[in-house]
Amino acid sequence: MAEQNLPDTPQDQNLPDAPKDQNLVEASQDQNQPDIAQDQILPDVPQDQNQPDIVQDQNLPDVSQDEEKTLESPISEVHSEAEKKGKYLRFSIPQRIEHIIFLVSFSILGFTGLSQKFADSSLGLAILNGLGGIERTRLIHHFSAAVMMVISIYHVNEVLYKVYVERTPWSMLPFIQDFQHVIQDILYNLGFRKRRAYYGRYSYAEKAEYLALVWGTVIMGLTGFVMWNPITTARLLPGQIIPAAKAAHGAEAILAVLAIILWHFYHVHLKHFNKSMFIGTMTKEEMEHEHPAELAELEAEVTREPIAPSLIRKRQRVFFPFAGVLTIVLGFGVIRFLTVEKTAITTIPQGETAAVYVPVTPTPRPTSAPTPTPNPNQPIGEDTWDGNFQALFRNRCDTCHGATKVGGLSLETYQSTLQGGNSGPAIIPGDPDNSILVQMQSTGKHPGQLTLDELDRVINWIASGAPEK
């Protein structure tokens, strides 16, 4: 299967190298007279590639000024006028939709992610608050991540389909030629060469960006998983992975966003606004500029002969079940990713976070108000606020429900206890069942917990009307 997936053709088809191109030109010359300028460009390529020195270029002055020449030549003028109206399809509608989904989810991820990373800057904080708080931001971030995972699974299937069923060459992989192009473009930019490199279907700039995107998505997915599911991760791998993943996730995010802003925006929007990813097509002029080698192949009509429908169907019968299984496996992986654990790290509401740092509460000194040891024989009458509970609460609850008022609740005075906190009165005299204090303490999980005996006394006290004196 794996070997079948790899077509044997890509190198030949992909590399418009010297002998190949020359063959193509000869072939097309026989059939229909193509324009001269175009032909002149082709033989130029191998020479330039082999000896990218200045003397070469000077020897062939017309050749290097291909574009102007194309327009000047009377024959090619007719030819290109006709072609110029025609558009060259670059991206199908599904590919364009895919790109838009990716673009949107990437942008949202970058925006919501970096604002979390830089939450201590005023801009980051303003964005977080604008989005409705950290929890909401995190939710949006997670949702976009899920969208990106789904679209990535689609993309994997798409690539496999093209390569296996349609036998499209691996035109996104870098070849030696791409490195030559880099050197040629550097020479061109330094003024040692008269024309830019002769790009094929994808230039090295596009390939580099695509591969960076694939790599980035893998890294972000893996480190994202670790941060999203730290407990599961720690079960399988050493715990240090978790902060490491966080660092990598943040750094790669900056890298990715910068790559988009600098590399992508420059190559696609600034240098020349390339709309083909949105409208799907390129004009001949654009093709001449951006993908001359591909254009030459297209013009010579030697790209690829169509595959017989029966063969397509045969391959589809292999491909679709495989893709189905693959999608189910990956889809299951994504669902696990999203749901395997409910991460323990949820944010504590504002007020409480503040409370931890705000005025240092004096450590309660047991000597100042010793809690009377619960005495079963003690008459109920002594169980009043003044007689017992003020001291009890001061000792057990004052750290959080004293001056700092965690949850809005102060248990310092009888009045403040009756008044209660964010959820309303802490105690309702005569009704222990509905008293929030009793409810909270009955769960047994409160950060400051009364013993069962103490709680019993509190309940009895409330039941008897919660007398103050």
**Site map 130..169 versus ligand HEC, x via CB under 6 A:** ----------------------------------------
Residue of 201, 396, 405, 457 that binds ligand HEC (CB under 6 A)? 396
Minimum CB–partner distance for residue 130 and ligand HEC (Å): 25
Q: How far apart are the first and last CA of the chain?
A: 86
Give the angle subtended at the CA of 303 by the CAs of 297 and 308, to the nearest 5°.
170
Helix 204-228, helix 309-339: angle, nearest 10:
40
Q: How far apart are CA 282 and CA 266, in angstroms?
A: 18
Residue of 446, 451, 453, 460 that binds ligand HEC (CB under 6 A)? 446
Minimum CB–partner distance for residue 435 and ligand HEC (Å): 8
Minimum CB–partner distance for residue 398 and ligand HEC (Å): 8
Q: Is 69 in the site for ligand HEC (CB under 6 A)?
A: no
Q: Which residues pair with 88 in a beta bridge?
A: 282
Minimum CB–partner distance for residue 423 and ligand HEC (Å): 3
Minimum CB–partner distance for residue 388 and ligand HEC (Å): 13
Going 242 to 243 to 248 to 249, the CA torsion angle's sign is positive
Q: Which is nearer to ligand HEC, 220 or 397 (CB)?
A: 397
Q: Is 428 in the site for ligand HEC (CB under 6 A)?
A: no
182 near 215, Cβ under 8 Å? no
Q: Which is nearer to ligand HEC, 295 or 450 (CB)?
A: 450
Minimum CB–partner distance for residue 261 and ligand HEC (Å): 42
Q: Which residues pair with 282 in a beta bridge?
A: 88
467 near 380, Cβ under 8 Å? no
Strand locations in 159-292 (E): 281-283
Q: Which residues pair with 47 in a beta bridge?
A: none
Q: Is 423 in the site for ligand HEC (CB under 6 A)?
A: yes
Does residue 54 sit in helix, strand or coil? helix
168 near 162, Cβ under 8 Å? yes
Q: How far apart are CA 444 and CA 440, in angstroms?
A: 8
Distances (CA, A) of 312 to 89, 163, 317: 22, 12, 9
Residue of 24, 409, 428, 462 that binds ligand HEC (CB under 6 A)? 409
Distances (CA, A) of 258 to 114, 263, 315: 12, 8, 41
Minimum CB–partner distance for residue 421 and ligand HEC (Å): 3
Q: Is 400 in the site for ligand HEC (CB under 6 A)?
A: yes
Minimum CB–partner distance for residue 116 and ligand HEC (Å): 23
Q: 126 burial class (0-12, 13-18, 19+ CB within 10 angstroms)? A: exposed
Q: What are phi and psi of 437, to 5 degrees?
A: -60, -45
Cβ partners under 8 Å of residue 139, min gap 6: none
Q: Closest Cα partner for 111 from 260, 235, 6?
A: 260
Residue of 323, 391, 426, 466 that binds ligand HEC (CB under 6 A)? 426
209-228: b (≥16 Cβ within 10 Å) or e: beebbeebbebbbebbbbbb
Residue of 16, 402, 407, 432 that binds ligand HEC (CB under 6 A)? 407
> Using CB atoms, what's the residue nearest to ligand HEC?
448
Please give the single-letter amino acid code of residue 186: I
Q: Which is nearer to ligand HEC, 138 or 405 (CB)?
A: 405
Residue of 153, 268, 450, 466 that binds ligand HEC (CB under 6 A)? 450
Instruction: Choose one: 146-154, 258-266, 278-286, 440-448; the region binding ligand HEC (CB under 6 A).
Output: 440-448
Q: Which is nearer to ligand HEC, 158 or 352 (CB)?
A: 352
**Site map 265..304 versus ligand HEC, x via CB under 6 A:** ----------------------------------------
Q: Is 434 in the site for ligand HEC (CB under 6 A)?
A: no
Q: Is 368 in the site for ligand HEC (CB under 6 A)?
A: no
Minimum CB–partner distance for residue 362 and ligand HEC (Å): 14
**Residues in contact with ligand HEC by the rule CB under 6 A:** 352, 393, 396-397, 399-401, 406-409, 420-423, 426, 436-437, 440-441, 446-448, 450
